[in-house]
Amino acid sequence: MAHIFVLDDVLDAAVLTQRILSKKGHQVTIFTDEQEAMQYVTKNQVDLAILDINLKKTNGLGVLEELRRADPKIRVIMLTGYPTIETARQALRLGATDYCVKPIDKSELEQKVSAALGN
């Protein structure tokens, strides 16, 4: 199954996502700090990243850009509680596979992840 990492400044939100996706058999690692997440990515092979947009220090779009630069093959789903057309536009232009809005339904999350992983 796929190796997924979740970055969300709210730990509970990240844990929730982890639970849902682990049940589907994925290996899920969670972070609340973008720097730790980036360090992890440089050392580990990750298939999919699920990124919040409003983070502690920077925002998820910056992380998206950096991730894509480090590994052009990585799939990224943006997950935000504050959707705007502008961030959606930027995210997709930067190569995000999808842009989802919180609160997200369990089955929708499963389906989006499955689509992003291409199966």
Measured between alpha carbons, how far is 87 from 110 in angstroms, rounded to an integer? 23
Give yes or no for residue 83 binding other proteins (CB under 8 A): yes
Residues 91-110, interacting with other proteins (CB under 8 A):
92-93, 98-99, 101
Cβ of residue 97: shortest distance to other proteins, in angstroms?
A: 9
- Is the CB of 18 or the CB of 80 nearer to other proteins? 80
Asked if residue 52 lies in contact with residue 59, where contact means CB atoms within 8 angstroms, the answer is: no
Asked if residue 8 lies in contact with residue 14, where contact means CB atoms within 8 angstroms, the answer is: yes
CA angle 102, 2, 58 (to 5 degrees): 45
Give yes or no for residue 86 binding other proteins (CB under 8 A): yes
Which residues face 100 on adjacent strands? 79
Could you give the string, one character per residue 28-67, with x where binding to other proteins holds by CB under 8 A and - elsewhere?
A: ----------------------------------------
Give yes or no for residue 84 binding other proteins (CB under 8 A): yes
Cβ of residue 35: shortest distance to other proteins, in angstroms?
A: 28
- Give the H/E segment covering residue 102: none
User: What are the backbone angles phi and psi of residue 111, rounded to the nearest 5°?
Assistant: -70, -40
Which residues of the chain form contacts with other proteins (CB under 8 A)?
83-86, 88-89, 92-93, 98-99, 101
